Chain A
Amino acid sequence: MSEKQSMPSGCILEGEKLSAEYFSAGKNIPVLKEVDISLKERECIGIAGESGCGKSTLALSLLRLIDEDEGRVFGGNIFFREKKHEEIINIAAVDKHRLLKVRGKEISLVTQDPYTSFNPVIKLYRQFREAYSVHNPGFEEKDFFLRVSSLLESVNLYPPEKILQSYPHQLSGGMLQRASLAMALLNEPRILIADEPTSSLDVTIQKKIMETLKNLRSLYNLSIIFISHDLNLISEIADRVYVLYAGKVVETAPSAEFFKDPYHPYSAVLLKSLPKLGARGRIASIPGRAPQPGAIKKGCAFAPRCSYADGECFRNEPPLTRSGEREWACLKGK
């Protein structure tokens, strides 16, 4: 693991050549292959891709949350600029003690299913208080309560006293997802990783959660990594887009350009398959199924489903091409 003294200015998180694999029945299943991502201060990046492309694994690896006996992240670096000293640390290499100070304090995570983000048999008050106390030793009860109530109000949960005295099962899914957003921001992190924060909620609630998220972003100057399979949601919030396919980044672009003119054929069909208001006829779909990461050993992983693919695509793995702020991995694209 290398040490790094400097990062591009404005950049607070940089994942470099992140690879991950899961252990299953004695075999190692690769999930991420040398993924590079970067996040600037106050930026929101969207990570798009079908299920199984490694989106959630990426979220977990950034905080080293993959269980040791389930899988591992290897070979890469995760550089992070700390809040206090502007010091750069490598999350992939720090000791456990230091890691605990990053989790929840510098980088927070909101997961897909709000019903499983709180311990079901402990009142919310105690769970909030615990999360506050680990990062604020010797805190005043008054400060804690002020912090929690202002957060709960900013996610539209009233009244704080009543919410805090509830058990998780007494709240609805939407309320719980708001509570977990409040929980994630409890210790003023700089980065929020939102892993499909709305996909288990129904559409009207989804809309409200997105509003809340945008509101929180400007209120607390957050940098956000927004992970979703839904390009509509990504277009709503993200400044830049990463498209993941079979564990690899196939395209990176600023949102405005990406949604106007995607370079990678996979991104293009993904955009085409979005339902549009007023459009008639069948929604376009991508033929075939997304391969397991690592299932395709040779050539471009998307080639079997790509209408532009020829012999070359099946033989050679496309390198990332760079042009300005855009990157794409295709032998046929621009």
Chain B
Amino acid sequence: MMIPVLFGITVITFFIMHLTPGSPVDGLMMSPDVDAGAIIRLRDAYGLDRPLHIQYFSWISRVATLNFGSSFRDGRKVTMKIAERLPATILLNVVSLFLIFSLAVPIGIISAVKHNKAIDKILAVCVFAGYSVPSFVVALILMMYFGVELGWLPVSGMVSINYEFLTFWGKVFDIASHLILPAVSTAIGGLAFLSRYLRSSMLEVIKQDYIKAARARGIPEKSLVLFHALRNAFIPMITVFGLLLPALIGGSVVFETIFSWPGMGRLAYEAIMARDYPVVMGVGVIMAVLTLIGNFLADVGYAAADPRIRYE
């Protein structure tokens, strides 16, 4: 099932990219030093003069042998370019996922247990504020305040200029301080979504008869909530998590650009702007694979969490 989906994604990405006005040689056309013949020879060399479907098939047959080609801009291998950017994106997303879960779970539980009480309403207002304000605005506000006004945190890049001269722990600390703002900005939307989702899921589970039955056995309220209810409320959360993972990978285009984070998102942005087709397609394939892996993990997690849907 995953292979046809992946195939479909590449087709759509490829044609959208080529339908977009502009071409990789546009920049050259502006230059008075380049004559028309050179541009035609360049198009010919890249195969850009051939029909689209021919171009697609030659691309896909190369990709089938894991050859993603080379960048139009600097001639380096696409796989190399991606390999050097991927760790930064994964680091950022793992940290923000960790932030989302470690905050959304307690917020969700507290608001469900104290539902309609003051604390639930206060949390709801905060969470909705975080959810409603576009996250790039939040990112800019955080940048303004913590980076510029207070000057506590660096606002761009992943490492400082003097990174090479730092000790090991100095390097760790340096990356961590660069990580805080992008990770927090990325996490806010997902945090709001997930905590509200967990709240409603918990509220539904707490009303179930098996919770009442467990209560009738003398089981204290704390284990009813943290063990019996949470265990069940988590099942639908796994599906949400599967949907959240691709959103985080996609969302990184915005945040990596704002914070100049040297990840996949910024690579994709730069490549799109330059119509660097091989790089755009390479990044597209990687993102699609990661998304599919996210979905697959959600399915596996779903079966692990709910014995009723396991294959016997």
Residues of A at the B interface (CB closer than 8 Å) are 63, 65, 67, 69, 96, 100-105, 108-109, 111, 113, 116-122, 127, 130-131, 134-135, 167, 169, 180, 183, 186-187
B305 CB within 8 Å of chain A:
yes
Please state if B215 and A103 are interface contacts (CB–CB under 8 Å): yes
Say yes or no: A121-B215 contact (C-beta < 8 A), given A113-B209, A116-B208, A130-B223.
no
B299 CB within 8 Å of chain A:
no
B50 CB within 8 Å of chain A:
no
Please state if B213 and A117 are interface contacts (CB–CB under 8 Å): yes
Say yes or no: A105-B216 contact (C-beta < 8 A), given A113-B209, A119-B232, A169-B308.
no
Please state if B232 and A135 are interface contacts (CB–CB under 8 Å): no
Please state if A120 and B216 are interface contacts (CB–CB under 8 Å): no
- B207 contacts which chain A residues (CB < 8 A)? 67
- B223 contacts which chain A residues (CB < 8 A)? 130
Please state if B217 and A103 are interface contacts (CB–CB under 8 Å): yes
Q: Smallest CB-CB separation from B312: which chain A residue?
A: A170
Please state if A131 and B308 are interface contacts (CB–CB under 8 Å): no
Please state if B232 and A65 are interface contacts (CB–CB under 8 Å): no
Please state if B231 and A119 are interface contacts (CB–CB under 8 Å): yes
Q: Among the listed B209, B210, B217, which residue makes an inter-chain contact with A131, where contact means beta carbons less than 8 Å apart?
A: B217
Interface-central residue, B116, B211, B227, B307, by most chain A CB under 10 Å: B307
Q: Among the listed B116, B217, B228, which residue makes an inter-chain contact with A183, where contact means beta carbons less than 8 Å apart?
A: B217
Please state if A121 and B232 are interface contacts (CB–CB under 8 Å): yes
Q: Among the listed A69, A111, A121, A134, which residue makes an inter-chain contact with B213, where contact means beta carbons less than 8 Å apart?
A: A111
- A101 contacts which chain B residues (CB < 8 A)? 218
Please state if B218 and A117 are interface contacts (CB–CB under 8 Å): no
- B221 contacts which chain A residues (CB < 8 A)? 96
Interface pairs A-B: 8 shortest CB-CB: A104-B218, A116-B209, A104-B217, A103-B218, A109-B216, A117-B213, A131-B217, A167-B307
B219 CB within 8 Å of chain A:
yes
B306 CB within 8 Å of chain A:
yes
Please state if A104 and B231 are interface contacts (CB–CB under 8 Å): no
Q: Smallest CB-CB separation from B307: which chain A residue?
A: A167
A-B contacts, 29 listed (Cβ < 8 Å): A65-B212, A65-B216, A67-B207, A103-B216, A104-B219, A108-B216, A116-B208, A116-B210, A117-B213, A119-B214, A119-B228, A119-B231, A120-B210, A120-B232, A121-B231, A121-B305, A121-B307, A121-B308, A127-B214, A130-B223, A130-B227, A131-B214, A131-B218, A134-B219, A135-B218, A167-B308, A169-B307, A183-B217, A186-B217
